Structure 1
Amino acid sequence: MLDTVCAQNFNPHIGKACRLSHPDGLSFDLVIDAVTETPKLQRPQDNRTPFSVLLTGDLTASFHFGTFTIEVDGVTFLSDVYIERVAPPWGLEPDKAFYQIIFN
């Protein structure tokens, strides 16, 4: 499933809240903030353009990285997705926590 996901699957959800759930019971909400395609990284044999998803959330979350299930509008959107906390994009104040999913 993860190998067929593309940026267009995320684009309709930009600005929406999503629920992340970890198998150990940890769950919290983030917002799908941006989707960025990187066509220069696409290999000729690949069917999908590599892309990343930037998510934002509360600064107080203790989560830094892990594999999660993502729910959007109460429906499972993706499972077994690796998400990692990242530094704020250049020029943005760190008033929220930033997370990233990378699909190569």
Structure 2
Amino acid sequence: MQQQVNGNHFRQLLGTPTLLYLEDGSELPVIIDSVEDTPKARLSASSRMPFGVALSSLQSTPFVDGLCAIDLPGLGRTADIYVSRTPALERDASRAYFYITFN
């Protein structure tokens, strides 16, 4: 199913609270902060446009990285998405920041 995912699925959720479903069965409320196409990473003209998704949590969390699921418009629950934490770097330290890369 991940091959069907494109940046527009996440763009529909920009700024909207949504849930990440973590491997341990817990849920983490997040906001999709940005979606960025990365055309230079594209393998061929027929392949999906690579993109990245920046997210931030709405609460503190010990979650660092791992496989998650998220509900995407038109696709439903999409599983096995690798989410990794990024440094706060002068952002609100009470929240956690994450990134997803789709190649």
TM-score interval, normalised by the smaller of the two chains: 0.7 to 0.9
- The count of corresponding residues between Structure 1 and Structure 2 is 101
Is the Cα–Cα contact under 8 Å of residues 31 and 55 in structure 1 kept in the other structure? yes
77-86 or 42-51, which deviates more: 42-51
| 1:42 Cα deviation from its structure 2 partner | 0.7
**Residues 50-89 of structure 1 deviation map (CA, whole Å, 9 limit, x = unaligned):** 100000014621000011111369x94421111110124x
Is the Cα–Cα contact under 8 Å of residues 67 and 82 in structure 1 kept in the other structure? yes
Uncovered stretches (5+) of structure 1, i.e. residues with no partner: none
Is the partner of 1:85 in helix, strand or coil? strand
Query: Is 1:98–2:97 an aligned residue pair?
Result: yes
| 1:41 Cα deviation from its structure 2 partner | 1.1
Amino acid at match of 2:41: L
The whole-number CA distance in structure 1 between the counterparts of 2:58 and 2:20 is 13
Is the Cα–Cα contact under 8 Å of residues 9 and 72 in structure 2 kept in the other structure? no
The whole-number CA distance in structure 2 between the counterparts of 1:72 and 1:45 is 25
Give the superposed CA RMSD. 2.3
Using a 3 Å threshold, how does the CA distance of structure 1 residues 62 and 46 change in structure 2: closer, same or farther? farther
The whole-number CA distance in structure 2 between the counterparts of 1:93 and 1:24 is 27
Q: For residues 25-104 of structure 1, what are the structure 2 equivalents within 5 Å?
A: 25-44=25-44, 46-58=46-58, 60-71=60-71, 76-88=76-88, 92-95=90-93, 96-104=95-103
TM-score by length of 1: 0.82
Q: Percent identity?
A: 28
Paired residue for 1:9?
A: 9
The whole-number CA distance in structure 2 between the counterparts of 1:29 and 1:18 is 6
Is the partner of 1:13 in helix, strand or coil? coil
TM-score by length of 2: 0.83
Uncovered stretches (5+) of structure 2, i.e. residues with no partner: none
Using a 3 Å threshold, how does the CA distance of structure 1 residues 57 and 23 change in structure 2: closer, same or farther? closer
